[in-house]
Structure 1
Amino acid sequence: MRLVFAGTPAAAIPTLRRLATEHDIAAVVTRPDAPLGRKRVMTPSPVAAVAGELGIPVIKAARLDEEASARIAALRPDLGVIVAYGGLVREPLLSTPTRGWINLHFSLLPQWRGAAPVQRALIAGDAEFGASVFQLVAELDAGDVFATRTIAIPDGATADAALDALAVGGAELTAEVVAGISTGTAHAVPQTGTATVAPKLTLEDGLLDWSQTLDLVYARFRGVTPEPGAHTTIGGSRVKILEAQRATDVEAMPPGTIAAGKAALLIGTSTAPLAVTRVQPAGKAAMSAVDWWRGQRGAEDLRAGA
């Protein structure tokens, strides 16, 4: 089929590459170049870079306005495929492709409708993860579902690693659905069950609450890493926690209490401690958590969250 593909981050790349091997992708729609790095260099989106590599024309648009919609309509696509584009598809663009638009979403719909399904599922401590391909409609992530698939993620994975696994599995699922739409064998069914929402994360979502159990603290750490980033306050300064895991074979510590182990900084929760191995203090480079702690004056009086 003749497709238009809309996506922006690296998580959309496996689907783009997979579909490009089987279909005619008339254009890729992606967000405009954005400033990256300390020097704020204007850089194409990951999807734009791959589209260039594949020789696919690129439409860069911050939103799918009248101009972008007209450019897409001129391509006369059979189907639109969207994976984490970062903008809404509204009428008349929603009805422009002959067979409408389908969306790969990284959750088992109707769970976690919204911008941050993987992150919110990790924070909630979900035991099951997966992807869904559904017919795009005006209501957020509410269209009929063509297919879902449970996908395993690495044990202890943070949001970036979890998304990588889901992106690969989701690409295969999307390719199967597109093939089914092409042959007329794909059928979508209404979503069933209770819907939950997954709004975009804010900086405040990354604040760790040491009065909670280790399970809850670790779940939040996983869900907000690498973005917007897990953090706490120590000695009145914000410290970003880059790497951490459950502590093993250590005694419980009062919430927020800090102790230096051989390889990790132990921070108490309401149950067992969290083992922090890498941090980034405010205004400084990332470093070993233990090395940073040893350099703090009066460290024995400092507590996380204070």
Structure 2
Amino acid sequence: MRLVFAGTPEVALPALDALVESDHEVAAVVTRPDARAGRGRTLRPSPVAARALDLGIEVLRPPRPSDPDFVARLGEIAPDCAPVVAYGGLIPADVLAIPRLGWVNLHFSVLPAWRGAAPVQHALIAGDEVTGASVFSLVPELDAGPVFGLLTERIRPEDTAGTLLARLADVGSGLLVDVLDHLALGDIEARPQPEDGLSYAPKLTTEDARVDWSAPALGVDRRIRGCTPAPGAWTTYGDERLKVGPVTVLDSAELKPGALGVSKSEVRVGTGTTDVMLGDVQPHGKKAMPAADWARGARLESGTRLG
């Protein structure tokens, strides 16, 4: 089939690579416009745009999917189907109708669970044991289209949003290609999403990533892992923010919520249940470091409080 692929961040690259290596033709790529990044705030292409340019694929960067020039060019390309992975823009109904077989979206949850922008993060924060990926037909309503296929993936105790998303992107790329193969053959049919189990996963804000040390230790652990690497879990030490990496949940409860227990080799923090041991932390204006190194440099003593 003749495809136009829509995607923007790095997590979309495994799907793009898999489609390029498949029997289908990737005629063009749609991605978000170049954005300013880095200390110099220079304009940089999205990861998907950069990969497509390296592959010699036409790149379309409309300011919005309703842009008339983009709509006209998409009509000229006349794709059979438009696969989508984390594009980051809402496709209007008239644009959805351009590909002969519509737009199909690879979404990183088992729909209808966790519709929205941050399904992996919310699955971790909620303490889900299993998540997965779904390929569905894109419709105007958010992540509500009928599903062509899905897979499940166990959430590991050490998973962060970053590691889990990377794993789902890899296995999900195979699912996407398989669905497109069957769409080309005409032997697959999408099924409506069930009404039970619907939940939403809005984009996490910086405030969502603030650690509440009065919460149970498992809740603290899940929130930190769900916000790693982005938007980045944090707390406060004095008047400054302290970024916090994944922690280890301990069996004992010796400290009050937010209180530190400092030794030469480790730093513990009290929660609403048992203590947790800090992993890496990042003080304001500095690089990430082991918590014990931070404690020595800051001359922390037991009883100091976070938050």
TM-score calculated relative to the size of structure 1 = 0.95
- Mapped to 1, the partners of 2:82 and 2:125 lie a distance apart of 31
Q: Which residue number in structure 2 is paired with residue 139 of structure 1? A: 141
The answer as to whether partners of 1:32 and 1:60 remain within 8 angstroms in 2 is yes
Kept in 2, the 8 Å contact 1:214–1:246? The answer is no
Residue 186 of structure 1, aligned match among 182, 185, 188 = 188
Displacement of 1:153 in angstroms is: 4.5
Partner of 2:232: 229
Q: What's the CA shift for 1:157?
A: 1.1
Displacement after TM superposition at 1:74 (Å)? 1.2
Q: Counterparts in 2 of 1:214-293, with a 5 A limit?
A: 214-241=217-244, 243-248=245-250, 250-293=252-295
Do the aligned residues in 1 keep the contact of 2:248 with 2:279 (CA within 8 Å)? Answer: no
Contact 1:252 1:271 in 2 (8 A): no
Bigger drift between 130-139 and 146-155 goes to: 146-155
Measured in 1, the distance between the counterparts of 2:16 and 2:85 equals 9
**What runs of 5+ residues in structure 2 fail to find an aligned partner?**
none
Q: Which runs of 5+ in 1 are unaligned?
A: none
Contact preservation (8 Å) 2:108, 2:134: yes
Distance in 2 between the 1:168 and 1:238 partners? 34
Q: Is the 8 A contact 2:250 2:276 kept in 1?
A: no
1:207 maps to 2:210: yes
How much has 1:149 moved relative to structure 2? Answer: 0.4
Q: Is the deviation greater in 61-70 or in 173-182?
A: 61-70
Distance 1:10 1:222, change over 3 A: same
For the residues of structure 1 that align with 2:24 and 2:264, how far apart are their CA atoms? 54
| Distance of 1:287 and 1:49 partners within structure 2 | 32
Q: CA deviation at 1:252?
A: 3.6
The answer for the alignment partner of 2:106 in structure 1 is 104
Which letter maps to 1:226? P
* Root-mean-square deviation (Å): 1.6
Question: 1 CA distance for matches of 2:263 and 2:99?
Answer: 59
**Distance of 1:64 and 1:200 partners within structure 2:** 20
- Bigger mean CA offset, 293-302 vs 228-237: 293-302
Partners in 2 of 1:265 and 1:5 — Cα distance?
47
The aligned counterpart of 1:172 is 174
C-alpha contact 2:221 2:249 (8 A) present in aligned 1: no
Aligned counterpart, 2:121: 119
**Against the structure 1 CA distance between its residues 298 and 143, is the aligned structure 2 distance closer, same or farther, given a 3 Å change threshold?**
closer
* Deviation of the 1:175 alpha carbon: 0.7
For the residue of structure 2 that corresponds to 1:284, the secondary structure is coil
2:201 counterpart SS class:
coil
Deviates more, 1:120-129 or 1:34-43: 34-43
- Calculate percent identity across the aligned residue pairs: 48
Q: Which residue of 1 aligns with 2:63?
A: 62
In 1, Cα distance between the equivalents of 2:191 and 2:279? 46
Is this contact kept in 1: 2:217–2:249, CA < 8 A?
no
Aligned to 1:134, the other structure's residue is in SS state: strand
The answer to whether residue 21 in structure 2 is matched with residue 50 in structure 1 is: no
- Residue type of the alignment partner of 1:3: L
- Bigger CA drift: 271-280 or 200-209? 271-280
Distance (whole Å) between structure 1 residues aligned to residue 45 and residue 156 of structure 2: 29
**Equivalent pair of 1:153/1:165 in contact (CA under 8 Å):** no
> 1:284: Cα distance to partner?
2.6
- Per the alignment, in what secondary structure is the counterpart of residue 130 of structure 2? coil
Moved more, 211-220 or 14-23: 14-23
Number of the residue aligned with 1:15:
15
Q: For 2:226 and 2:129, how far apart are their aligned partners in 1?
A: 13
Structure 1: how far apart are the matches of 2:18 and 2:74? 21
8 Å Cα contact 2:31/2:59 also seen in 1: yes
2:26 counterpart residue number: 25
Q: CA deviation at 1:99?
A: 0.7
Kindly state the Cα deviation for residue 49 of structure 1 after the two structures are TM-superposed. 1.4
CA contact (8 A) 1:254 1:269 kept: yes
Q: Secondary structure at 1:270's aligned position in 2? A: coil
Residue by residue over 1:258-303, the C-alpha shift from the partner in whole angstroms, topping out at 9 and shown as x without a partner, is 0124443211112222221211112333223212222335644520
